[in-house]
Amino acid sequence: MNQKFLITHYYHSGFSVANGDTLLVFDYWRGEEGELTGALELTEEKLKRFAHVVVFISHEHVDHMDPIVFTWRDWTDVTYIVAYDMPVGTRGRRVSPGDRLYLREDLSLSVFDSTDLGVSFLVAFRGCRFFHAGDLNFWHWREESTMQEIEEADAEFRQALRPLCREEVDVAFFPLDPRQGAMFEAGCNAFILSVRPRLLIPMHYFHRADVAVEYSRTAGNRATEVLAMPELAETIVLELDDEGYLNISAESEEEEETPEVPEPPENEETLSRDSPFFESDLPLAQLATSDEEEEASAKPESSESGESNP
Q: Structural domains in the chain?
A: 3-250 (3.60.15.10), 266-301 (no CATH)
What's the pLDDT band for 89 if we cut at 50, 70, 90? confident
pLDDT per position as a tens digit, 44-64 = 999 999 999 999 999 999 999
What's the pLDDT band for 257 if we cut at 50, 70, 90? very low
CB 269 within 8 A of CB 289: yes
CA distance 171 to 197: 6
CA distance 32 to 13: 13
CA distance 169 to 161: 13
Mean pLDDT of 130-149: 97
How many CA atoms within 13 Å lie on the side-chain side of 160? 28
pLDDT per position as a tens digit, 178-187 = 999 999 999 9
* pLDDT over threshold 60, residue 279: no
CA distances from 12 to 27, 108, 176, 230 (A): 9, 25, 10, 10
CA distances from 215 to 9, 85, 219, 267 (A): 17, 32, 6, 64
For the chain, how big is the Rg over CA atoms in Å? 31
Q: Put residue 162 in one of left, alpha, beta given phi > 0 → left and psi -120 to 50 → alpha.
A: alpha
Contacts 24+ apart (CB under 8 A), 181-185: 181/141, 181/142, 181/143, 181/144, 182/142, 182/143, 183/140, 183/142, 184/211, 185/215, 185/219
* pLDDT over threshold 90, residue 239: yes
